[in-house]
Chain A
Amino acid sequence: MNADYRSMWTDLGLDLEAHDALLSVLGKAYQDIYLSQKERPQGMGYFDSVMSDIHGLRIKELMDEKASGRKIIGSYCVFVPEELVLAANATLVGLCSGADFAMEEVERLLPRNTCALIKSLFGFKLGKVCPYLECADMVVGENTCDGKKKAYESLSDLLGNLYVMDLPQVKSTNGKAMLLDEYKRFKTALEKLTGATITAESLKESIRTVNAKRAAIHRLSTLRKADPAPISGLDALLANQILFFDNPVRFTESVNKLCDELEQRIEAKTGVFPKKTPRVLISGCPQAMPNWKLHMLVESAGAVIVGEESCVGERGTRNLIDESGETVEEMLEAITNRYFQVDCAIFTPNAERLEHIQQMVAEYKADGVIHYGLLFCQPYLIEAIPVEKALEEEQIPCLRIETDYSMEDLGQLKTRVEAFVEQLG
Chain B
Amino acid sequence: MRFAGIDIGSRTIELVVVDKNLQVVDTLQADTGFDPIAEARKLISEVRYDRIMATGYGRNLFEISFDAPTVTEIKAHARGARAMFPDAQTILDIGGQDSKAIALFENGKVKKFEMNDRCAAGTGKFLEIMARTLGYAIEDFGCGALMAEQDLNISSMCTVFAESEVTSLIAKGKSREEIARGLHSSVIRRAIGMINRVSSSGNIVFTGGVAKNPCLRQLLAEKLGRDVQVPDDPQMVGAFGAALLAAEII
Contacts and interface: CB of A to CB of B under 8 A. Distances in A.
Interface of A: 392, 397, 408-409, 411-412, 415-416, 418-419, 422-423
B118 interface: yes
A397 B103 CA distance: 12
Nearest to A417: B72
A409 to B, nearest CB: 6
A422 B118 contact: no
Contact of B57 (A392, A411, A422): A411
B110 A423 contact: yes
B112 A419 contact: no
Interface residues of B, number: 15
User: What is the interface of chain A mostly: helix, strand, loop, or mixed?
Assistant: helix
A386 to B, nearest CB: 14
Interface string B67-109: 0000111110000000000000000000000100000000001
B75 A422 contact: yes
A394 to B, nearest CB: 14
Nearest to A414: B60
A397 B57 CA distance: 24
Given A418-B72, A419-B74, A422-B71, A412 B118 contact: yes
Contacts of A423: 74-75, 109-111, 113
Query: Which A-B residue pairs are the 3 nearest by beta carbons?
Result: A419-B74, A419-B72, A423-B110
A422 B74 contact: yes
B57 A419 contact: no
B1 interface: no
19 contacts: A392-B112, A397-B111, A408-B118, A412-B98, A412-B115, A412-B118, A415-B72, A415-B73, A415-B115, A416-B113, A416-B115, A418-B72, A419-B74, A419-B75, A419-B110, A419-B113, A422-B74, A422-B110, A423-B111
A408 B117 CA distance: 12
Nearest to B73: A415
Contacts of A397: 111-112
B82 to A, nearest CB: 14
Which of B57, B73, B74 has its CB near the most chain A CB atoms (within 10 A)? B74
Contacts of B118: 408-409, 412
A411 B9 CA distance: 13
Contacts of A412: 98, 115, 117-118
Given A416-B113, A419-B74, 18 more contacts: A392-B112, A397-B111, A408-B118, A409-B118, A412-B98, A412-B115, A415-B72, A415-B74, A415-B115, A419-B73, A419-B110, A419-B113, A422-B74, A422-B75, A422-B110, A423-B74, A423-B75, A423-B109
B189 to A, nearest CB: 20
Contact of A415 (B57, B109, B110, B117): B57
A423 B113 CA distance: 10
Contacts of A422: 71-72, 74-75, 110
Nearest to A411: B57
Contacts of A392: 112
B33 to A, nearest CB: 18
A181 B73 CA distance: 55
A408 B118 CA distance: 9
Nearest to B98: A412
A415 B115 CA distance: 10
A423 B118 CA distance: 22
A137 to B, nearest CB: 43
Nearest to B102: A419
Contacts of B112: 392, 397
